[in-house]
Amino acid sequence: MKPIFFIGFMGVGKTTIGKRLGDVLNLPVIDMDQYIERIEQKAIKDIFHQHGEAYFRDLETKVLFELQSEEAIITTGGGVVERKANRDILRQNGSVFHLTCSFDALWDRLEGDEDRPLVQNNSKDKLLALFERRFPLYEKGSSVTIQTDYKSVDEVVQAILPYIES
Q: CATH number, domain at 138?
A: 3.40.50.300
**Beta-carbon neighbour count of residue 92 at 10 Å?**
10
Residue 45 lies in a domain: yes
Domain range for residue 26? 4-151
Residue 62 lies in a domain: yes
CA distances to 19, 50, 68, 85, 137 from 63, rounded to whole Å, are 19, 19, 9, 12, 19
Q: How many CA atoms lie within 13 A of 1 on its CB side?
A: 13
Residue 81 lies in a domain: yes
Specify the pTM: 0.90
The whole-number pLDDT of residue 117 equals 60
pLDDT at 31 over 80: yes
The whole-number pLDDT of residue 122 equals 67
Residue 159 lies in a domain: no
Of residues 132, 157, 134, 130, the one with CA closest to residue 146: 157
pLDDT at 93 over 80: no
Dihedral angle over CA of 128, 132, 137, 141, nearest 10? 80
Rounded CA-CA distance 2/94 in Å is 7
| Contact residues for 5 (Cβ-Cβ < 8 A; gap 6+) | 73, 74, 75, 76, 90, 93, 95, 96, 97
Q: For residues 3 and 93, which has the higher predicted lDDT (pLDDT)? A: 3
CA distances to 51, 96, 133, 140 from 156, rounded to whole Å, are 36, 14, 24, 21
Contact 88, 157 (CB under 8 A): no
Contact 17, 156 (CB under 8 A): yes
The lowest-confidence range among 3-12, 70-79, 120-129 is 120-129
Residue 156 lies in a domain: no
Residue 140 lies in a domain: yes
| Contact residues for 30 (Cβ-Cβ < 8 A; gap 6+) | 67, 70, 72, 73, 74, 75
The whole-number pLDDT of residue 115 equals 64
Residue 166 lies in a domain: no
Predicted confidence band at 24 (pLDDT cuts at 50, 70, 90)? Answer: very high
- Mean of the per-residue pLDDT values of the chain: 89
Predicted confidence band at 15 (pLDDT cuts at 50, 70, 90)? Answer: very high
Q: Give the count of domains, the chain.
A: 1
Rounded to the nearest 5 percent, the helix, strand and coil shares of the chain are 60, 10, 30
pLDDT at 34 over 90: yes
